[in-house]
Amino acid sequence: MPKIRKVLVANRGEIAIRVMRTCKELGIATVAVFSEADRSALHVRTADQAYLVGPPPSRESYLVQERILEVAKQSGADAIHPGYGFLSENASFVRACEKAGITFIGPPAAAMDAMGEKTRARANMIKAGVPVVPGSTEPIQTPEEAREYAQQIGFPIMLKAAGGGGGKGMRRVEGLHDFDSAWRSAKSEAMSSFGNDSVYIEKYLEKPHHVEIQVFADQYGNTVHLNERECSAQRRHQKVVEETPSPILTPELRAKMGEVAVKAAKAVNYVGAGTVEFLVDVHRNFYFLEMNTRLQVEHPVTEWVTGLDLVAMQIRAAEGEKLPLFEAPEPRGHAIEVRVYAEDPARNFMPSPGKITHLRVPGGPNVRDDSGVFAGFTVPNFYDPMISKLSVWAPTRAEAIARAKRALSEYVVKGITTNIRYLHGILSHPEFVGGDYDTSFLTREHTALLGSEDTQLSEVALLASTLHAFQRDQKRAKSLPSAGAGAGDTGGRISPWRLALKNRRR
């Protein structure tokens, strides 16, 4: 197959930049697409060319297949990398690329049909003899049918989007009393995230670990797994912290899960990067959950411990090259990734869009920050609020935790609220440090992870803000014409500075 010369990255933010960096190293030109909300975004500045694709809502811009393909033709791109989310697991888009003569850097449409649609993937795995979490093997059409099925398998249950992953369109339901609202919100979020509101039901397992296996395949049937990632630190079913190796897996269990993951990929003639996700119960039994037919957000931790560039491997697989390895590499050291979000953990993780007035990212040995923002950039409120992924590597897990905490302590973002302090709380919590944390960890320890407010720092902040206001008022007063008041006369008012000191003494 011919070498790829120019790649259109059908995504935004940090993942678009991440793909573009590898393309530049390979000598491949890049094309960015952007919505009106992303005109000044960093991925637009990073690419060799950039094209507007529509208004801010993703369904009118990043999800419009026809417009993306039109830009590919206009720019002369001969390949499209979808990143993750948006069109990355859309089989109809893959077919449209093939019809247009454009290489899709990802699995073939048939494999995506088989595994990208979650209920079909479950049915395929059941046929292949892979243990799966109890649940429906087809999308459920009506709330009445869904309620009846939920009662049959027993609460609690999970409502899950059939057309995509990443925690979108997923709701835990405890009983009939909250079923209807969860059904509506799950379908609505699934539609806005994937353009597909199909939902299915799974039995909720108590205190499971979420462990996924990275797989990779070429066009000649060669498939290998690249070890696991522990993803149990989740909030609202969306991963917040990931690490590899998993602290709960033995070499024997890793090999067994890897073998099943490779079997799953081969069963659908998979090509490229994919992730087979499992739930592991307290007895260390594992169950197939789903397969994500794309690059994962947390792929950097796998790159840290294997020394591989997964995006470069994706591109080479799309060009028809064979895999550079044919057996799982031995994990080298330990890697941890935390997701930095523009959100306020103290206000129920409310998104915090706005202008970043100051930004200092961490550095030092074996620290990596995949980011899509810069000082002066305004974080829009139309998309996922993740602004960067901070990952670290160290020889041991304890050293990796210490390095991640140090890096977080260097991270400074002003102008918006972030979850940096919350992430530091996770890494410092005894349950995380101990390594045996499950998917309910963040919910269960929510109050402890928020931490207590430092009253002395609060007083310093109050005094500093009051002093700033006083100095500002003094400057304004000097710029106004005199009204006959004597020097230093405040018109009988108490200065904000003195008022703050008076309140403090009280």
**CB-side neighbour CA atoms (13 Å) of 434:** 7
Percent of the chain with pLDDT over 90: 70
**CA dihedral of residues 96, 97, 100, 101 (deg, nearest 10):** -150
Catalytic residue among 18, 122, 254, 294: 294
The pLDDT value given to residue 485: 47
Q: Residue 281: which region, alpha, beta or left (left: phi > 0; alpha: psi -120 to 50)? A: beta
Q: What is the mean pLDDT of residues 288-313?
A: 96
Dump pLDDT digits (tens) for 377-407: 999 999 999 999 999 999 999 999 999 999 9
* CA dist., res. 28 & res. 302, Å (int): 24
Q: Is the pTM of the predicted complex or chain greater than 0.75?
A: yes
What is the Cα gyration radius of the chain? Answer: 25
What integer is the mean pLDDT of 210-226? 97
Helix, strand, coil abundance in the chain, percent, nearest 5: 40, 25, 35
The more confidently predicted of residues 455 and 198 is 198
Query: 379 pairs with which residues across the strands?
Result: 354
* pLDDT in the model for residue 466: 81
Report the alpha-carbon distance of residue 94 to residue 207 in Å, rounded: 37
Q: Measured between alpha carbons, how far is residue 97 from residues 105, 300, 443, 445, 492 in Å?
A: 10, 27, 41, 46, 74
CB 272 within 8 A of CB 314: yes
Give yes or no: 122 in active site: no
For helices 496-505 and 455-479, what crossing angle results, to 10°?
160
**Under 8 Å CB-to-CB from 379, ≥6 apart: which residues?**
342, 352, 353, 354, 355, 356, 373, 385, 387, 416
What residues pair up with 276 in beta bridges, in sequence order?
213, 291
Q: Tell me the C-alpha distance between 134 and 380, whole Å.
A: 39
Q: Is the confidence at residue 487, as pLDDT, over 50?
A: no
Nearest to 190 by CA among 169, 172, 217: 169
pLDDT, tens digit (0-9, with 9 covering 90-100), for 182-205: 999 999 988 888 888 889 898 888
Cα four-point dihedral sign 258, 264, 269, 272? negative
Strand 29-35 relative to strand 6-9, pairing: parallel
Whether 77 has a pLDDT exceeding 70, the answer reads: yes
Length of the chain: 506
